[in-house]
Structure 1
């Protein structure tokens, strides 16, 4: 018999897409999709069960369906519907506790994959340049989704000690972007003008939503060198981008604020329901965060298809041109480069021209326009 995979959080785009993807993998007998609300998207041939992972019913599902692989994707920074932050925290923390308790009692469970985030490292001014999976965190997140993820990972480690026969993989994803991304950072980048923190230009990493699907499949189903790919893994595309570079590639202006003012702007945006501009996101957009991905490559055996820059390019292309598209900006720079030498020559002629002083010359020919780099967005 093939594997029986249970996936939580399938009402979200990420969970629904993984359900459709994993059904196509060889060796999969059945996929059981679980969420508290019915998804609006198609789940293929998966069996959908409307259930709340915070309730004991999840244990019955594991036993009745003989589930051997659990992929826990119902850990998110944004709630479904209008439940607010309280519902999100209960689902993340209480739901994970209940799910792990059910897995501990289910003898058929052999594999557990948990979606986490690099936000567990926090973002502070004295952070190391690059975080590894074992780097001691100097400033633990004090609230929000990042704190939920820290608690979730603590419960997962406890489960791994109680059930050493179960292979456990925790995937710490960098900021997920792509044409269909619905993350808080994606919402931030869709604003017409990007609020930033005055004096800071943080380094950012991204992972493409397609790579998220691929690494979930690898962590859930594949074995490498006779192991079951257990452990904690940072997942991100190669390279980094500065926040200023992302704004230029989107063609959007930035408005720098002092840090207290940025916090106030975030509260206004949250109250208006425009975007979840949380405190942890403000810290990220102040200090940035970069993680090492060697364990992902060497132990898990996964190499992302997209770099950080390519991920952001795909995301930006899907959102259309901003107020200052790079192509339009390049043409403006060309015109400016051609006009400045001519204007300088006119002024010089008027100053030193004797009897011609004050007369505007129409014969002055300055040097031609300088060549603007192809990626003008990174040089202007």
Structure 2
């Protein structure tokens, strides 16, 4: 029987493109893309349903579609004109979605996008347990759902920075600042994922089968081979660095949480770490590896920005 797939995050490139490629898969009968803002590009044969994060509309979509697969790539966080972004909207939307998945008898597969920055920082070991960031909170809520619904197959994808000619994100806007804040004494290695590889990883994980009638569960790093020093990236984009002492990062985190700086607290914290992701488990789980290296993904971004 053909699968019915829900994809969130349709207003942004990865969500829209994932909905498009999933809708073209012969094993998928229907794709419903949803977000709290309209998509900025075509969705192929996928349908778009607008949702609100303060009512039951997210749950209504899950229930009414009878979806068996849910791919959670986020919800739009853009505020109304003239207003700051409300903090925690991504967590609020996630809670609505996870509650709907728990209640649904049809949902059997859940894929959740997370961030490579979860658990990063001086002395961090990669765990999400004590991490206060939004991505880590989403991971904790997802893990709680897995405990409540052990029959549900759940995969969490911790992405390195998705980059390319079509992606606009906090990372690309950070690289585009006239003066870029960095942390004094740190020059972290930056890993990237080309936009096409990011979409393909989502598609394969959503439809994956381990050969025994199930699908791979767990937390998977998604990153291209290789890495680039942040200083090199900034030189290539022609930006000046403004090195802050580490204690100054707390000020930037506060500004980011209030929506005054368009760069997430977890990404700012990542500037204090040099942990390189290992995508081996992902490659083993879905039998696939990225087509682009981190260097090649970055070059594709530079070519579009030139």
- Shorter-chain-normalised TM-score: which range? 0.7 to 0.9
Instruction: Give how far 1:189 is off.
Output: 1.1
Q: Which residue among 259, 269, 278 is the counterpart of 2:245?
A: 259
Displacement of 1:35 after TM fit?
1.7
Alpha-carbon contact 1:196-1:262 (below 8 Å) kept: no
Name the structure 1 match of 2:236.
249
Q: Distance in 2 between matches of 1:170 and 1:236?
A: 14
- 1:214 correspondence with 2:200: yes
User: 2 CA distance for matches of 1:99 and 1:301?
Assistant: 29
Aligned counterpart, 2:100: 102
SS state of the match for residue 141, structure 2? helix
Q: Which has the higher contact order (CA 8 A, sep 6+)?
A: 2
After the TM superposition, list the runs of 4 or more consecutive aligned residues in structure 1 that deviate by more than 6 angstroms.
267-271
The answer to which of 298-307 and 52-61 deviates more is 52-61
More strand, by proportion: 2
TM-score when normalising by structure 2:
0.87
| Cα distance in 2 between the residues matched to 1:34 and 1:51 | 6
**Counterparts in 2 of 1:317-336, with a 5 A limit?**
317-320=303-306
Q: How far apart in 1 are the matches of 2:239 and 2:10?
A: 36
Cα RMSD between the aligned structures?
A: 2.8
Deviations 1:232-291 (CA, angstroms, capped at 9, x unpaired): 1011111111112212333x15334332796599589979x9951454433323434322
Residue number among 286, 297, 308 corresponding to 2:283 in the alignment: 297
* Alignment partners' CA distance in 2, 1:203 and 1:219: 26
Equivalent in the alignment of 2:293? 307
Change (3 A) 1:222 1:278: closer
Q: Does 1:40 align with 2:40?
A: yes
Post-superposition shift, 1:215? 0.5
TM-score under structure 1 length normalisation: 0.71
Higher-Rg structure is 1
1:336-368: CA deviation from partner (whole Å, max 9, x where unpaired) = xxxxxxxxxxxxxxxxxxxxxxxxxxxxxxxxx
Aligned to 1:276: 262
CA distance in structure 1 between the aligned counterparts of 2:65 and 2:203, rounded to whole angstroms: 20
Report what 1:79 is aligned to.
Answer: 78
Q: How many residues align?
A: 303
User: Would the aligned equivalents of 2:253 and 2:265 in 1 still touch at CA under 8 Å?
Assistant: no
Report the Cα distance in structure 2 between the residues aligned to 1:148 and 1:136, rounded to whole angstroms: 14
Per-residue deviation at 1:3?
0.8
Is contact 1:54–1:99 with CA below 8 Å preserved after alignment? no
Unaligned runs of 5+ in 1: 129-134, 321-380
Which residue does the alignment assign to 1:370? none
Of Structure 1 and Structure 2, which has the larger fraction of its residues in helix?
1
Q: Is the 8 A contact 2:234 2:241 kept in 1?
A: no
